[in-house]
Structure formats: C-alpha cells, structure tokens
Structure 1
C-alpha cells in the first residue's frame, strides 16, 4: 500500500453490487447530462463536445503538446490527431512543431478558436449551476471537497502503480 493512499473503503462488495446506485454510474449520468446540455448551448457556436472539450483545455491551460492534450482527455493519439485535423480545418486550432523537440507537436487556439470559446465559460457556468439547483453553499463546497478526495485517491493509486484489482481484491479461498 502506498503511504499516500488510505486503506480502501468497504462500501461496495461483489455480493451486493448493483450498477445503478454505484459511484461510477452516478458520475457517468451527471457527466452525460452536463455534456448534453452544454452541447445544446454550444451547438449554436457550431461546437460539439468532442470539439469544445480540448479547446476548453487550451483556453485555460494555453498551448500544450498533442500528446498531453490526449492524456488530459483520455484519448488515444490517433483519435486526437483526427480531432485536431477537424479543428484545424475549421481554423480553430493551430499545430506547430516544438522548437525544443521537433518530435513534439504543440497545439494552440487560433484567434477564431479563442473567439469561438468566448461563450464556453458562461455556458458551462449555467449548466453547472442548473445541475446544482437547491444546493447550499456549504453542500456545494462539501461536494467539491469530496470529489477532490476521490480524484486524489485515483492519482495516488496511479502513481503507486497499483490497480484497484491488485490493491483491494483478495481471493476468498486464501
């Protein structure tokens, strides 16, 4: 067990596991709903989730390598290349070879891309606020803190080179 990782919880078990109230299922439903609503609103700007998601990363993080962008969005390199081809054809992004390492392709927003993403923060703020209807400030801050703990646990598992299977499952016959 990694020193950065607390012992695993025991909220789920194989004997009682169901998908619908599971953390993964709930998070997926939330993400799908938010993406659907954002797509409806950003569609007016001729942007789909596949397009605005990487552009949003570039808007907030600045230019980054295509490999880093693919990692951030959990995409394989080939899919990222095809997506960047489409974005480049729409003059939304630009790809340039790194001056430090010619093997690295840096991606940045064009002026057209910057203008296209101008509406994104407002749209996403509305979508998120709509999904948080009825939450108090304290509940919102608690939710964010809890989700950040889950993310940190995931990073600690990854950094320790562990998989959830290797770190928590034990053969019942042992």
Structure 2
C-alpha cells in the first residue's frame, strides 16, 4: 500500500519538500558560519569530497555531490585560482585530472569541518543518540533506494 495519495497529501509531510527545505536552510546556515573563512558551503563540501576520496576527479566529485559536471568544473576553477585545490594529470589517463587539496586547502577544510560539526550538533541538541542514529540510518536507506532507482529520465 502506498503511503502518499492525493487526498491525504500535505506539504509539511512530503519528503521531497522537507529534504529540500532542510538542505536549503542547512546550506544557508553553513554559508553564514563559513563567512569568516571566505568560503561557501558548496566550496567546503567540494573540498571535503576531494579530501575524502584519494582518486578524486571532477566527475567523481560531481557524482558524489549529485552536482552538474560543468558547474563542478567551474567550482574547481575557482578553488584552484584561490590556491586551495590542485589539478594533476592522471598518469594512467592523460585526459583525466586528479584533484588534491593544497596544504592551505586541507587546513581550511579542517577548520570548516569543525565549524560544521558544531553547527550540526547545535541542530541536534535535545535529540537522543538513539534518535540521531535512527535518523541517519533512515536517511542512508532513502539514499540507497534513490540511487538504486537511477537517474531521472526527464
């Protein structure tokens, strides 16, 4: 039996709406939290993705973040111009550039990671460890389900 139907649909119970609004609020709050570092939440998320993936390329980071490859390439251009990211030719495939953080980029990524963790803990204040663990597990399950469905055929 389907959970949603047109008769009982309410915006404040729609998972798409709630995920989008939470994401937008979260990114805006991270933007403000990173303002002193002159970094946006998307810049930081990109740099974090590079830091966590030893084989990072523009395409891999774009896929990891569900972001357009062209827009990601432009974001990497900005981060590279600021001296935070470095492109290096892949020795196995000369058409491909591996991405790494510069020492300055790695330090900035870590400073912002600590800011983000503090903000996330603030959002979850009053939640029990069990509630947070269950929430994360449910989001991971939804993520796997959505990934398995594949890209939209629009």
State if a TM-score over 0.5 links the two structures.
yes
> What's the TM-score once normalised by structure 2's chain length?
0.89
| SS of 2:34 mapped into structure 1 | helix
Deviation at 1:11, TM superposition (A): 1.1
Matched, 1:61 2:53: yes
Which of residues 128, 131, 151 in structure 1 aligns to 2:123?
Answer: 131
List gaps (5 residues or longer) in structure 1: 1-8, 165-174
The corresponding residue for 1:80 is 72
Q: Deviations over 1:87-106 (max 9, x none)?
A: 11100000111100011111
Aligned residues: 154
* Cα distance in 2 for residues equivalent to 1:79 and 1:68: 13
Q: Deviations over 1:23-82 (max 9, x none)?
A: 111112221222122111211111012311100111222341111111112222221121
* Cα distance in 2 for residues equivalent to 1:81 and 1:121: 23
> What's the TM-score once normalised by structure 1's chain length?
0.80
Which of residues 96, 99, 102 in structure 1 aligns to 2:94?
Answer: 102
* Cα distance in 1 for residues equivalent to 2:132 and 2:119: 15
Q: Which has the larger radius of gyration?
A: 1
The corresponding residue for 2:13 is 21
Q: Is residue 34–residue 127 contact of structure 1 (8 Å, CA) maintained in 2?
A: no
The corresponding residue for 2:31 is 39
| SS of 1:39 mapped into structure 2 | helix
| SS of 1:24 mapped into structure 2 | helix
Q: Is residue 56–residue 120 contact of structure 1 (8 Å, CA) maintained in 2?
A: no
Cα root mean square deviation, aligned: 2.1
| SS of 2:136 mapped into structure 1 | helix
Which structure exhibits the higher relative contact order, with contacts defined as CA atoms closer than 8 Å and separated by 6 or more residues? 1
